[in-house]
Amino acid sequence: MQSAPGARATELSTELETKLLRRLVDEWESVNFTYFRCVLRMPILRLSDTRQRLGQWNGELRCLELSRPLVLERPWTEVIEVLKHEIVHQFVDEYLGVDEPPHGPTFRDICDRLGVDGRAAGRPSTDPDTNDSAHRTVARIRKLLALAQSPNQHEAEAAATAAQRLMLKFNIEVEQARPHADQRSRYGFRHLGRPSGRILEHDRRLAAILSSYFFVEGIWISVYRPLEGKRGSILEICGLEANLVMAEHVHGFLHATAMRLWSDYKRTTKRSSNRDRQAFLAGVMRGFETKLAAQSEQFQEQGLVWVPTAELGRYFRRRFPKIQTVRRRQARRNEAFTEGHRAGAEIVLSKPVESGPGGGRPKALPSASGKGR
């Protein structure tokens, strides 16, 4: 979000400022280890008050600068993308010693190979898919999901099923028709929801639903909340732009629907403990997942089978070459879980949920030319 002219980023206490700088050092070391095998030397990390650029690498001073407004006002995921971008500049300048324009072919090639955002924007692209077929398909799916709001249960289910069948056919056709080399440049990523301190079972089940039935790969990544000095986690999904659009909708729709169902259940039963809440929400996701599994079997019987593309897997591994799997406990299986499961099995996927009061995304800070963003 771009602040009004002359506005200043929120001031941090000395303690929070120190924790923030330590976290940025940790993030730099993590990127250096994960992507560059520790061949780079730690630069001077600096926060600047400028709004004219998101970040900048200065090879002469060995200084990597990040915009303070970026760090304090934008999601941490965007901060890390800018940091990666500038570290690639450092790698090209200091390690390779390549003499070419800042965003030249070497820089772009390394960003592409590592799955790093090479644009000067600081956040994933949200531009509509330029492919006419994909654009038309997304528009048709949205219309079907709008029809799925019909008070007639049969009509609503038919519209929702038609939307998911259309998504499936679209992805099968894309895989069959588009050369892998052309696909590669079309993969992107998005971050869903808000950072949370704990990843609960219903969150994990929702992420699994997206990966299993909506043509994206997902992973929970660590983020930092500088204004609070606390860590958290957020879900990143990778895929084709059309699939990212729909997966983002499904995530927002299911989360909002599950919370509404819980409110109804709590009001009806007078059960409001956190244990019941977690069990009910996990049940909702499990119930909807069961419904999707049955629907998937029907599609397979109709000859509609989608095999995940290898290119998506390769893009995902470029962004996350080192992945750690953690096992979590499941929510307690009690009456609340059972009722949540029943409610989840009756959910009908319908029209997109608007993101924010204006239905749009916040604007990015302005970028600048040169070796900075």
* Residue range 325-337, pLDDT digits in tens: 776 666 668 899 9
Please write the tens of the pLDDT for every residue from 73-82: 999 999 999 9
| Residue among 188, 211, 230, 218 nearest 76 (CA) | 230
- Segment 143-172 shows an average pLDDT of 90
| Residue among 214, 255, 258 nearest 237 (CA) | 214
pTM here is 0.85
- How many residues would you count in the chain? 373
Query: Mean pLDDT over all residues of the chain?
Result: 85
Q: At what angle do helices 335-345 and 274-301 cross, to 10 degrees?
A: 40
Model confidence at 131, pLDDT cuts 50, 70, 90, reads low
Dihedral over alpha carbons 163, 169, 173, 174 (to 10 degrees): 40
Lowest mean pLDDT among 12-16, 343-347, 353-357: 353-357
Residue 54 pLDDT exceeds 50: yes
- Residue 37: CB partners within 8 Å, gap ≥ 6? none
Please write the tens of the pLDDT for every residue from 201-249: 999 999 999 999 999 999 999 999 999 999 999 999 999 988 999 999 9
